[in-house]
Amino acid sequence: MAGSANVDCSTPPQGIDAEECSQWVRKLRNQLSEPGEARAFRILVVKNDRLVRVAVIDYLLGCGFTVYAAADAAEAKGLLAADLGVHVVFTDVELPGRVNGFVLARWVRKHYPDIEVIVASGFAQMVRDVVP
């Protein structure tokens, strides 16, 4: 899935830490010298919860990025194998199946070392337990 939408990117979707998300988007946009370059920047969103996935996609599209979406790790791996030129994988920790977001992140870093990976979760304690 890729597309465009008009969304106010000053307000991140519900469930996303507003300050961190805004800082991340500002940093990405500041690295792009021309406004049109954002469209060339491709982000793969991996999230099984459809409503949150759509909210994140709409937010990123509204900020001018090209966005692809996957509901699980297997779908994400398929999109990466399609060589779409993804620059960032933005994944949730909790994914259906045997591969969670941390395992997917390790797999991406091993097989696609030039792709940045952001792992996010709405369950802060779980992340604190896993990430020092």
The pLDDT confidence band at residue 80, using thresholds 50, 70 and 90, is very high
DSSP structural state of residue 13: P
Could you tell me the pTM of the whole model? 0.70
Tokens of 79: 């999109």
What pLDDT score was predicted for residue 110? 94
The pLDDT confidence band at residue 69, using thresholds 50, 70 and 90, is very high
DSSP 73-110: HHHHHHHHHTT----EEEEES--SSS--HHHHHHHHHH
The angle subtended at Cα 74 by Cα 79 and Cα 37, nearest 5°, is 30
Report the distance separating Cα 132 and Cα 130, nearest Å. 6
Q: 21-63: per-residue pLDDT in tens? A: 666 666 666 665 555 555 678 999 999 888 888 888 888 888 7
How far are the Cα atoms of 16, 37, 45, 63 from residue 108, in angstroms, in the given order? 22, 24, 13, 24
Q: 96-121: per-residue pLDDT in tens? A: 888 888 999 999 999 999 999 988 87
